[in-house]
Structure 1
Amino acid sequence: MEGRGGSRRESRARPSAAVLFRGPVEPVIFIANFALVLQGPVTTQYLWHRFSTDLGFNGTRTKESCNNHSVDPTMREVETLTSHWTMYMNLGGFLVGLFTSTLLGAWSDCVGRRPLLVLASLSLLLQVIVSIFVVQLDLHVGFFVLGRILCALLGDFSGLLAAGFASVADVSTSQSRTFRMAVMEACIGVAGMLASLLGGHWLRAQGYANPFWLALALLIVMTLYSAFCFGETVKEPTHTKLFTLRHHRSIFQLYVTPALGKSRKHLALYSLAVFTVITVHFGAQDIMTIYELSAPLCWDSKLIGYGSAAYNLQYLTSLLGLRLLQCCLADTWVAEIGLAFNILGMVVFAFATITPLMFTGYGFLFLSLVITPVIRAKLSKLVSKSEQGALFSAVSCVNNTAMLMASGIFNSLYPATLSFMKGFPFLLGAGLLFIPAILIGVLEKVHPHDEFQQFPDHSDLPSPEATGAK
């Protein structure tokens, strides 16, 4: 690993910073996602409200008035503007995140996970402060885009995930890693479910501003926990520069440096699989609120909160399902079952015109999120301990690229297909999910055990990767 062994002159081991207690990383991920999900639907509905006001559209959220205006061109324009500005926010953040996510994860292999957690926590704090100013002062909605860009510069949620999953890989065994990854994702889901329920009711009662203030308070607590309570999982943190191309090269070397068997080929193909899954998940999630706000569903903020809670409940049901299915099935086939239910859910969404059918679609997603922890665990087993931060930095890059593609494709496709089939983007998502299903099955069939190769920890000795990174 860079900064160790052969680089003793450039980086020296430093003692870990004092902490109040050695807490796990899961509370950080839980609080961060709670704050983000609390803001997400509120931001979309705020955009809808602003554009409705600017265009003189009476966007009353009763079903009768919504259906009466279902063919109103002004309502169609509100939908299009909301979708496009959501895309602009995502594009601004993800384009910047493509650079920072590849830099920070590999950096954490040297300096430890705590500095990255603190930096990413501060980035989320900065974003919510900008959002508060926009809502409180009625600033131009373009400032939402500025907030996303500033957040991405300092790490964003992808930085938290890179540090979080890497810290889990640092302390887990190969046998327990898949479940530990699923626990992390369950923290994301439970937080999202609770935030969705709270956000819908709160928005109806007190308007747009207060959810952002709660998010601000939670993110302050999270930043303090990251700085003073998180137990560092890198055994010997070392000083190293942040802005250096060596961190980016360490990501590149993951995919090109020769290794045992065909593990690097597996690394690339599993990365493609997770790329496709995340593209569909985030693309569907991006348009879900607009899909539910408009005719024929015409949901209000309360129903949107219930729907978002049902969507996030899949994290918890997937964790329980994974635990049960692992008793009788290999991880690969658990992931295939999850993909099958995900495809069914997307098809139901595509044709949902009534509320019960939408919740049926949410029900089919109860196992859909067993896929990503399985793939993350398989990826983690393909690299050595000293490469975990670089790996999850690469996964964050894949994640950001997928979210960028999802935002561009789904937010552009949704308004373009309103005239002939409103649910077409969900059908597209269902079709795309056949790609990871085929890849995972083929990889298991051809080399079912390569991903479980164990790598010695060469943290105290110069490795070919470290030598090439100098």
Structure 2
Amino acid sequence: MDKVLKYAGHLRMEIPIFLYMLSSFIKFPVFQNLAYEKICYQHYHDDVLCSNASAYYKDKSIQAEANHFIFASSMILTLPSILSTLILGAVSDNRSIKIPLLLPYVGLVFASLNYIVQGILLHANANYMLISDAIFGACGGYICIISTTLTYGVKTTRLQHRSYRIAGVEGAIGLGGTLGYVLSGTIREAFGYAYTFLFILILISIAFFYVLILAKEEVRIREDNSIGFCSSILSYIRKIICDFYFVLTKPRAFRNILALNLIGLGCELFIFAGLMDIQFSYMRYKLGWGDKAYGWFSGLSYGLTTLAILILYPFLRSKGVTDGILGCAGMVTKIASLIMLAFLKSEAMAYSIAVVTILNRFVSTGFRVFISSLLETDEQGKIFSVISLLDGVTSLCATSMYNMVYPKTLDFFPGFLFLLSAALLIFPIIVLFISDRTVHYHRLEVDSHSSDEAPPSPTPAETSSTM
């Protein structure tokens, strides 16, 4: 039997997740820009040349080495974060909810300290930056921050208010990402790498102390101490595997449709993760962009998609447009933007693409909501765990493929992977559209039969005669 110790505290998870997303999106372009400078210096030992992105943006050897570095960075971050997130999930369920919230921020503090050092030692090997990825990954990484934030928000919010809390977290993620992209290169250009990472460290420290002071703890003390910590972790992992198996194999009306849509979502997540890894390199190669120009472009794109998902998506749903159709609309515009990116020629064209991508976040939202609608209420937590695992696995696969293949395409057609991604999206569009129509018409038919078979309401005379 568990004795649960609870003490007061009130935490708005929107604040720390906003600070994390702000720091993360400031870091992303600056980190890649610093990697390019370090790799360039190892090749040419020329500070003036390497600090000017437009001077060597067509150098294929640096492009290839930079993409191999990004591949290593993604693998070193993601692989340990999957395992550590499972461990911290067990801690959250069996010991304390506060430790999993705090540990990723501790990792980010030490990771930022290393980035500051690497920003000062510009001539040091770029691989020393990977130490930060290893530290953050071992402490849970971005997967743990997102999952623990949502878990805490759900556990500490009443059922009728949970949708508003999740919407608030989504809004904080969007706002943090937009501002982070816009500020990244501007701050770095004004103050340099070291001070940019120092600013990131300050943001992370504020988030850490906010959670430390205000998070409401829930410590579980077991009277039966015969089960050790390692055993509880193994038990938690076994429970997750059983949940996955149960969701995917349980007899249900639309089991095949569920399986196909999970494959379709996996395809979309694969494409998203792969393009995120190579897009900075691609824009640099095609237009000579550094972190500032890329940050403004990405900030505009992210801001527009955030506004669309927070305002346009709910509005269209209120007008009767289904989640599946909205997801398909997002994929159609995404295909159009990928084709345009493949043949990118100018900055003006790039910014027009940012407008075309406005519905991009409809894709994952439409898929997730449609998939969750196929399951019972008590299965919602299980299916989102399945999707989180799918996200991690597809990210690893995409990182391997896109970063390894992209440098080879520079010799014949740099936009090849964007066209390939556009072609791959045709499969999830077909799956989601047919699935949505099938389920929609089936439910209309069931509702129609139910209303036809319902007994007529008694008339007042019939009612009085029975009294």
Q: TM-score when scaled to structure 1?
A: 0.81
| Alignment match, 2:179 | 194
| Alignment match, 1:51 | 39
CA change 1:320–1:46 in 2 (3 A) is same
| 1:211 and 2:196 are equivalent in the alignment | yes
Give the AA of the match of 1:274. L
Q: Does the 8 Å contact 1:342/1:367 carry over to 2?
A: yes
| Alignment match, 1:78 | 62
Q: Distance in 2 between matches of 1:86 and 1:366?
A: 27
Q: TM-score when scaled to structure 2?
A: 0.82
| Alignment match, 1:92 | 76
CA change 1:323–1:347 in 2 (3 A) is same
| 1:288 and 2:272 are equivalent in the alignment | no
CA change 1:394–1:275 in 2 (3 A) is same
CA change 1:195–1:261 in 2 (3 A) is same
CA change 1:110–1:187 in 2 (3 A) is same
Q: Distance in 2 between matches of 1:59 and 1:163?
A: 40
Counterpart secondary structure, 1:129: helix
| 1:310 and 2:297 are equivalent in the alignment | no
| Alignment match, 2:403 | 411
Q: CA deviation at 1:334?
A: 1.4
CA change 1:112–1:319 in 2 (3 A) is farther
| Alignment match, 2:268 | 277
What per-residue deviation string (whole Å, max 9, x for no partner) do you get for residues 40-81 of structure 1? 111110011111112116246475x45xx74xxxx2111111
CA change 1:48–1:395 in 2 (3 A) is same
Q: Does the 8 Å contact 2:323/2:369 carry over to 1?
A: no
Q: Distance in 2 between matches of 1:180 and 1:342?
A: 28
Q: Distance in 2 between matches of 1:246 and 1:46?
A: 42
What per-residue deviation string (whole Å, max 9, x for no partner) do you get for residues 233-270 of structure 1? x8x96668654212112221223226462576666544
| 1:333 and 2:330 are equivalent in the alignment | no
Aligned equivalent of 1:105, options 82, 89, 94: 89
Q: Which runs of 5+ in 1 are unaligned?
A: 1-7, 452-470
Give the AA of the match of 2:265. V
Q: How does 1:301-450 map to 2 (within 5 A)?
A: 301-313=291-303, 314-328=305-319, 329-378=321-370, 382=375, 388=381, 391-448=383-440
Q: CA deviation at 1:378?
A: 4.8
Q: Does the 8 Å contact 1:97/1:400 carry over to 2?
A: no
| Alignment match, 2:108 | 124
What per-residue deviation string (whole Å, max 9, x for no partner) do you get for residues 194-242 of structure 1? 112211111212221111111111111111222332457x8x9666865
Q: Distance in 1 between matches of 2:366 and 2:96?
A: 25
Q: Distance in 1 between matches of 2:177 and 2:307?
A: 11
Q: Does the 8 Å contact 1:29/1:164 carry over to 2?
A: yes
Identity %: 20
Count of residues in correspondence between the two structures: 427
Q: CA deviation at 1:119?
A: 2.0
Aligned equivalent of 2:15, options 27, 31, 35: 27
Q: Does the 8 Å contact 2:67/2:281 carry over to 1?
A: yes
Q: Does the 8 Å contact 1:106/1:247 carry over to 2?
A: yes
Q: CA deviation at 1:175?
A: 11
Q: Which runs of 5+ in 2 are unaligned?
A: 444-467
